[in-house]
């Protein structure tokens, strides 16, 4: 089509410039021709539609004042003038309100310079409707902004990977959650950065997302660089590409470590709760809760199975209304029971009470309850606790109380002292006689130990504490005696500390039982004084007999020997028979003389008058000569001053010990040692014989050992005898340097090598040869 036909077809005025006419005819978008002043000089049909139906010919020279806001109009005219003047194209966007009942439209206006028919400058304006494009752009921008904000807000990890599991993009607000640093992940596949098992699981999830478009539930456990182990839950979604080969996958990785740990704890707590429920159902009592509502209604929402068995209360009825249970409480316990609940509710303090409940089958039973209250959000108070039947315990306590009262009555009317101690050694009871005999009021002893409130003089009180400790820790019984002084007399008290045991045989305390043995001790003292007197008389008689044997019979035997000797001399050449008879008589007289000397020496050696050391030397040498036993004597050097009684006692103790070693001990070696310590004489005799059992010391026929102890006691000392079968015997006696009458019997140990190692101060330990 030629230019003339095109112009005629469009109906434009022939005044339009040829180039503009071509644009007006060929373009389907609105095109308007403006002069340099911004007045319309022509438009095509599309422009006419844009300008609300203005005829392209009738209103060709009208302006846009009716279609544009003032500011937009100024902007358009300024741009037209600038393009017309400078000849440089420009672009701008304008909103037109041309069509009625329709929203304004946004156009992108492209202004290009042109020449009018009269060669005047003009401007061609091409209008492109960008309303929908801008709306799409705004929506897309809002979507992008929302996506960016969402990505920035979430703490999860976001990855984009391809179908090979290769990391293409990584968004990590918390990069410390990455198992591998971000720069080392990009471009790598999951097979390169994950352990084999986790990588296989990840690739299976990608394959599922490729098939179904989405994948959920993949959980991976990864070890992070900081040494922690984390659980991650992954969700995958397919992101389509231009072709299926370019599809990628968005991976949302959420750290669920705390949830996993919480689930584990929840599971464990659920298992514990299940076990506790089982325990509650088979336990000896009832576990449950008790609810007091703000309106005063009471219920028991939950309780273990034995509620009805123990209390007689129906569990189902208690869940609805627990007030009926109050009607079953014993009248004597009702007010106290209700008051205890009120105090616990008011102060939110732990509740504990013992009360009687009327059981439909058992009658009244004793119930003990303990619970802890908590205030609910609605103001209710809920108690969590337990109830259990203590009827048997109550009956046992009643019987025990009766028994203790009977024991107390018996103890307070017996002439003995009874002190009871608990497991910690503290006094829980003391009979009234304690004050008279020990000088300590019973009320002052309660709650005290013998260390805190001494019951006896030192060091006897230490022995009492040791005995009490032995009774409580070892279950051992201890006996001791001590002298006391009350208001009007001096006496002796014998104390026996024994353990107190429960029905299972466990030590739960101890008793110290004391009895006044003054009369017995006085009798013992009298008997000992009598025995000492008898012993002294016996020694004196021995001395007299020995003296008479030596001086009287000895002299006569010597005279007889001289007479027989003279008779033999006279008959030597005359009567051989008489000579033989005199020889026999002379041998017999010599035997009698020796026997007399031996009897005299056994009664009382004359060497004893020379002192203890010569007497001991004579005794040991005589033993060696007569028995062949090797006997070693060790005597302290220097002069030793002692009384006659001390000398005789020490000599007789040594003599009796050597007799026992040879007669009963079958010893081959004996050692005798005498030493002088600061305040005592010590005589010690040890042998390597067969020894004996400790119990045999107390046998009725052990007169020798008893005599040793009695001789030591007679001069104010004491003796210890240590022996065990197969380990020999050691006899040790301590005699005070200054002799005093014995007021207290010292200990007599016979407990083997342990006692043998306990030496007195200043002594040396002897050992017996094999």
Q: Which residues contact 350 (CB under 8 A, 6 or more apart)?
A: 344, 370, 371, 372, 373
Tell me which H or E stretch contains 546: helix 518-548
Q: How far apart are CA 106 and CA 128, in angstroms?
A: 8
Other Cβ atoms less than 10 A from the Cβ of 240: the count is 10
Q: What share of the chain is helix, strand, coil (3-state, %, to 5)?
A: 45, 25, 30
Question: What average pLDDT does range 84-109 have in this prediction?
Answer: 83
Q: How far apart are CA 179 and CA 182, in angstroms?
A: 9
* Greater model confidence, 448 or 411: 448
Q: 283-394, what's its fold?
A: Beta-Lactamase (3.30.450)
Please say if the pLDDT value at position 7 is more than 70.
Answer: no
Q: Which residues contact 96 (CB under 8 A, 6 or more apart)?
A: 50, 51, 64, 67, 68, 104, 105, 107
Question: What average pLDDT does range 444-449 have in this prediction?
Answer: 82
CA 542 from chain centre, in angstroms, equals: 75
Question: What average pLDDT does range 387-395 have in this prediction?
Answer: 91
Query: What's residue 49's pLDDT?
Result: 76
Question: Given the structure tokens 């205030």, which residue do they identify?
Answer: 375
Please say if the pLDDT value at position 769 is more than 60.
Answer: no
Strand partners, 720: 732
Q: Which range has highest mean pLDDT (146-155, 535-544, 607-616, 652-661)?
A: 652-661
* Structural contact between residues 722 and 657, judged by C-beta atoms closer than 8 angstroms: no
Residues of the chain with CATH 3.30.450.20: 3-135, 154-261, 283-394, 414-508
Q: Per the confidence metrics, is the pTM higher than 0.85?
A: no
Q: How far apart are CA 97 and CA 72, in angstroms?
A: 11
Query: What's residue 437's pLDDT?
Result: 66
Question: Given the structure tokens 């009018």, which residue do they identify?
Answer: 116
Q: How far apart are CA 30 and CA 46, in angstroms?
A: 4
Q: Which of 740, 719, 706, 743 is nearest to 518 (CA)?
A: 743
State the average pLDDT for the chain.
Answer: 80
Q: 610-756, what's its fold?
A: Heat Shock Protein 90 (3.30.565)
Condensed to tens digits (0 to 9), the pLDDT of residues 123-170 reads: 999 988 888 888 888 888 888 777 777 766 677 888 999 999 999 988
How far apart are the two ends of the chain, measured CA to CA in Å? 152
CATH of domain 154-261: 3.30.450.20
Lowest mean pLDDT among 10-14, 436-440, 459-463, 606-610: 10-14
CA 713 from chain centre, in angstroms, equals: 55
Q: Which of 541, 535, 551, 584 is nearest to 709 (CA)?
A: 535
Condensed to tens digits (0 to 9), the pLDDT of residues 269-311 reads: 888 877 777 777 777 888 889 999 999 899 999 888 888 889 9
Query: What's residue 277's pLDDT?
Result: 74
Please say if the pLDDT value at position 638 is more than 80.
Answer: no
Query: What's residue 162's pLDDT?
Result: 93
The total number of residues written for the chain in this structure: 770
CA 309 from chain centre, in angstroms, equals: 37
Q: How far apart are CA 387 and CA 308, in angstroms?
A: 11
Q: How far apart are CA 363 and CA 330, in angstroms?
A: 11
Residues of the chain with CATH 3.30.565.10: 610-756
Q: 3-135, what's its fold?
A: Beta-Lactamase (3.30.450)
Condensed to tens digits (0 to 9), the pLDDT of residues 39-70 reads: 888 888 888 777 765 544 434 444 566 667 77
Superfamily of the domain at 414-508: PAS domain (3.30.450.20)
Q: Which of 428, 430, 418, 362 is nearest to 395 (CA)?
A: 362
Please say if the pLDDT value at position 400 is more than 50.
Answer: yes
Question: What average pLDDT does range 556-575 have in this prediction?
Answer: 74
Question: What average pLDDT does range 574-600 have in this prediction?
Answer: 76
Q: What is the CA radius of gyration of the chain?
A: 63
Q: How far apart are CA 293 and CA 378, in angstroms?
A: 8
Tokens coding 728? 């020999």
Query: What's residue 9's pLDDT?
Result: 34
Q: For helices 3-10 and 18-26, what crossing angle results, to 10°?
A: 60
Percentage of residues in the chain having pLDDT higher than 70: 82
**Distance (Å) of CA 167 to CA 161, 173, 176, 218:** 5, 17, 18, 17
């Amino acid at each position: 089509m030629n230019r003339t036909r095109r112009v005629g077809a469009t109906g434009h005025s022939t005044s339009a410039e040829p180039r503009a006419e071509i644009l007006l005819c060929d373009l389907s978008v609105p095109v308007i021709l403006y002069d340099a002043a911004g007045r319309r000089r022509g438009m095509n049909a599309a422009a006419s539609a844009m300008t609300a139906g203005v005829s392209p010919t009738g209103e060709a020279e009208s302006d846009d004042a009716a279609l544009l806001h003032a500011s937009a109009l100024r902007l358009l005219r300024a741009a037209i003038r600038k393009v017309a003047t400078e000849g440089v194209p420009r672009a701008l966007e304008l909103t037109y309100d041309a069509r009625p009942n329709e929203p304004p439209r946004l156009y992108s206006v492209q202004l290009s310079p042109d020449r009018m028919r009269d060669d005047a400058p003009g401007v061609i304006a091409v209008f492109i409707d960008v309303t929908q494009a801008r709306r799409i752009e705004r929506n897309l921008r809002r979507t992008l902004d929302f996506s960016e904000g969402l990505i920035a807000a979430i703490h999860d990890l976001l990855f984009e990977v391809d179908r090979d599991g290769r990391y293409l993009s990584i968004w990590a607000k918390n990069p410390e959650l990455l198992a591998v640093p971000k720069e080392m992940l990009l471009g790598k596949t999951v097979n390169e950065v994950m352990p084999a098992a986790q990588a296989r699981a990840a690739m299976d999830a990608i394959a599922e997302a490729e098939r179904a478009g989405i994948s959920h539930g993949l959980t991976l456990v990864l070890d992070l660089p900081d040494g922690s182990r984390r659980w991650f839950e992954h969700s995958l979604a397919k992101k389509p590409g231009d072709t299926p080969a370019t599809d990628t996958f968005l991976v949302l990785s959420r750290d669920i470590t705390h949830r996993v740990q919480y689930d584990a704890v929840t599971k464990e707590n659920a298992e514990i709760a299940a076990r506790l429920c089982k325990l509650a159902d088979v336990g000896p009592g009832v576990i449950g809760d008790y609810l007091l509502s703000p309106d005063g209604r009471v219920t028991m929402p939950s309780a273990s199975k034995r509620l009805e068995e123990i209390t007689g209360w129906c569990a189902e009825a208690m869940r609805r209304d627990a007030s009926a249970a109050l009607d079953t409480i014993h009248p004597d316990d009702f007010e106290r029971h209700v008051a205890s609940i009120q105090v616990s509710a008011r102060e939110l303090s732990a509740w504990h009470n013992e009360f009687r409940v009327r059981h439909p089958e058992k009658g009244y039973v004793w119930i003990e309850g303990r619970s802890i209250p908590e205030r609910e959000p609605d103001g209710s108070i809920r108690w969590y606790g337990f109830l259990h039947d203590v009827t048997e315990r109550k009956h046992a306590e009643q019987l025990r109380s009766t028994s203790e009262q009977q024991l107390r009555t018996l103890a307070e009317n017996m002439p003995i002292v009874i002190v009871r101690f608990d497991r910690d050694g503290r006094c829980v009871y003391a009979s009234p006689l304690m004050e008279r005999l020990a000088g300590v009021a019973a009320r002052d002893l309660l709650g005290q130990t013998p260390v805190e409130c001494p019951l006896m003089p030192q060091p006897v009180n230490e022995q009492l504490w040791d005995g009490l400790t032995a009774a409580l820790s070892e279950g051992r019984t201890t006996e001791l005696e001590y002298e006391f002084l009350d208001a009007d007399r001096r006496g002796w008290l014998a104390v026996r500390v024994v353990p107190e045991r429960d029905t299972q045989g466990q030590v739960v305390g101890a008793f110290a039982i004391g009895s006044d043995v003054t009369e017995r001790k006085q009798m013992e003292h009298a008997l000992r004084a009598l025995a000492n007197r008898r012993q002294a008389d016996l020694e004196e008689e021995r001395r007299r007999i020995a003296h008479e044997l030596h001086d009287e019979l000895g002299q006569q035997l010597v005279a007889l020997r001289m007479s027989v000797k003279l008779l033999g001399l006279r008959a030597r050449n005359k009567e051989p028979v008489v000579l033989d008879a005199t020889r026999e008589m002379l041998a017999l007289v010599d035997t009698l003389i020796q026997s007399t000397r031996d009897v005299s020496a056994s009664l009382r050696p004359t060497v004893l008058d020379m002192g203890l050391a010569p007497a001991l030397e004579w005794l040991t040498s005589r033993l060696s000569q007569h028995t062949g036993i090797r006997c070693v004597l060790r005597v302290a050097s220097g002069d030793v001053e002692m009384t006659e009684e001390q000398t005789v006692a020490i000599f007789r103790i040594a003599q009796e010990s050597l007799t026992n070693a040879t007669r009963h001990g079958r010893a081959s070696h004996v050692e005798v040692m005498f030493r002088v310590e600061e305040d005592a004489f010590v005589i010690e005799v040890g042998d390597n014989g067969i020894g004996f059992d400790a119990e045999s010391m107390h046998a009725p026929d052990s007169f020798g050992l008893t005599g040793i102890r009695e001789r030591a006691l007679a001069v104010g000392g004491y003796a210890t005898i240590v022996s065990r079968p197969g380990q020999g015997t050691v006899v040790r006696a301590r005699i005070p340097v200054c002799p005093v009458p014995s007021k207290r019997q010292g200990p007599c140990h016979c407990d083997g090598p342990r006692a043998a190692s306990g030496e007195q101060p200043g002594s040396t330990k002897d050992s017996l040869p094999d």
